[in-house]
Every structure is written in structure tokens, then in C-alpha cells.
Amino acid sequence: MSSQPRCPHCRHFLYLDALACPNCGADLGFHMLSRQFYGLRNNQVVIEDRTWYTCSNRSWACNWLVRDDAPAGRCFSCRLTRTRPAANDTVALQKLAGTEEAKRRLVLQLASLGLPIVGWDVQPGGLGFDLLSSLTDGRPVMIGHANGIITIDLAESLDDRREALRVRLGEPYRTILGHLRHEVGHYYQNVLLTDDEDWARCRALFGDERASYRDAIKRHYALGAPEHWHDSFISEYATMHPWEDFAETFAHYLHITGTLQTAAAIGIRLDAAVTSLRDVDVIPRESYEDQPIQSLLTDWEWMSQGFNRINRAMGFGDLYPFRLVEPVRRKLAFMHDIITKAPLTYEQQLAIAAPWDGERA
């Protein structure tokens, strides 16, 4: 199923957050299950004999469609938000719009990978999001994950605040989408590791997650990352505790597959006849589900060099400023294995994205 969004009327290219076509002006809604935009009439459209409406959060830039019997008229992504700013906190709600867009991108990628997404009010420990603002709440908001609930500080949607934190913490990359991909890695560690063999393999690569997390935090912030951490870890933060190494590696798997999928959808490739990077063509795929990890990482090695050159041509830093050393590649291979082991079918995704019980708001 192609992930390249186009206007259903004029076929103009669309970004995933489009509410209307920039070319023909048509009002549009995004259908998560088919990964397609549909034209709207009176804020609704019929898809496969079923009426879909615009999400009740469309005034806050949500462009997803919601089935006619969904609770409270909220789309699947918006229903995953457990806590959001008060209705009269317009400053925080403006920041919420950007964060919700990043969350929709995350949910769409998880669905594209065939990963199960069960909501927080459907099942204990289900996935949910508390989207809070430290600026308007007047108290600190700790970004993190606990029992399926991911907490995000909306203040980090402010570029100056996020960049100041990135520099202070010595991070090469820090975005809202990056936070979401990291924190959802914590959630999926408990979802995807289903037996003792999986956990044994995981601990052999990442370490024993049963080690004291509190002690690990104290050690990390007192002493920093160990010397030569680059030889075994994807980031300094990954060195803190096996949980964080797993989540960081999971996030990078999403970075890599998401970027390659986008490149494939819009036809970006490295042509050996015109590039000096490699002597054979590099053609990224929209899905690497049936490919070995080496195929994924080889394509990424060369494509990321091209992306980095483009960024540098605009005066930015590298798009992907990380090194994939051999221990990290083995960890990514483990991610590839557990993620592609049992992807959900379209019908299974449809059942999960269906209204939860018709009653919950």
C-alpha cells in the first residue's frame, strides 16, 4: 500500500498534515487504514459503504477521519490521548496541534509496520498519551513512559526551548517525533517480547533490564557515559540502562525505516551512473518486512550519506548524525526480527482501529 499521499481530485502531492489541497483547494480528510486522502463534502465521505466524518479535533489541525460510530467523534490517534490541556488554555493547545501531528505520524508508521496499538482504556497497560505543558501548568513535566502511558512536555514543541536543551545535554538530535519514537519503544518492549527466549536474547544484547533504574540514573548524571561508548551504543543516553538502550535502538529503527519509506514513496534513489557514492544503484523500499536486516542497513548507509549531503548544502547539520557500529547493527537486527515476526493484517488493524465499545467518550 503506497504511502505517497496525493489529492484525490488533482493528484497534487500532499503532506500528511494537509487539511486542504494547496493546488485545487479541496477539503480533505486522511483515512488511516488505507493511508489515503479523501475529498470531503459537508465534512464527511463514504468509504466502502461506511460513512466517515472529520475528527472533532479538526479545529486543532487534526485531518484524520473517524468512523460514524466512533466514541465522541474522535479519530483513532486522538482517542489515544488520555490527558491534554484545558479547553481554555489556548496557548498550550496551539502547541498541542504540532505534537498531535507528530503523534499521528508515529501511529501511522506503527500501523504500517503491522504493530498492535491497543488503547489505554481498552486494556490495562494499553497505549496512551498525556500531553502536558510545563509552561502553562507551572510545574515540571517529565517526558517518559509508565505502564503504557507516554508523557510529553508540549513546551518542547518550541524550537528555542528544545534546541537549548539539545545543546545543554550534548545531543545531536532532539525532536518531538524522536521523543515519541523513543518512549513508544519502552511500550513495545513489553508487547513484543512474549517468551523467555525473546527476553534472553534481548538481555544478551542490551543487558539485564532488572538492574536498578534509580541507581543507573544517579550514575549516568553523576559520571556521564562511559569512555568509548561509541563502540557499543547508538547514543550517550542509551548507555544509562538496558531499558534506555532498547528504546533508543527501537527509535532508530523507526527513524531509518520511516525515512527510507518516504524516500521510496517519492522516488528518491541513488543512481550509480551519476553518483560517486556507490557503483551500483541504491533503491529504497517502502517495506523491508521480507528483507534481511543487511538489506535495510546497506540501503540506509548509502541513502543517509546522500541525505547528509543535502542537509549540508543548506547549511544544516547532518540529517542522521549517528554511527551504526557492529554492536548497534546487531541490536537493530534484533529489532527487525521482533517487529517483522508477526505483523498484523489489514483486517486485524481494522478491528483494532474500530470504535472501542460505542460508549466511552
Kind of pairing between the strands at 81-83 and 128-132: parallel
Strands (E), the chain: 28-31, 36-39, 44-47, 50-54, 65-67, 81-83, 128-132, 144-146, 149-153
The model carries a pTM of 0.93
Q: What proportions of the chain, in percent to the nearest 5, are helix, strand and coil?
A: 45, 15, 40
**CA contacts within 13 A on the Cβ side of 41:** 5
Tens-digit pLDDT string for the chain (361 aa): 345 789 999 999 999 999 999 999 999 999 998 999 999 999 999 999 999 999 999 999 999 999 998 877 999 999 999 999 888 787 788 888 899 999 999 999 999 999 999 999 888 999 999 999 988 877 889 999 999 999 999 988 878 888 888 888 788 889 999 999 999 999 999 999 999 999 999 999 999 999 999 999 999 999 999 999 999 999 999 999 999 999 999 999 999 999 999 999 999 999 988 877 778 899 999 999 999 999 999 999 999 999 999 999 999 999 999 999 999 999 999 999 999 997 777 667 666 666 544 333 3
Q: Which set of grid coordinates corresponds to residue 146? A: 509508565
In the chain, where the domains are located: 1-73, 80-186, 193-344
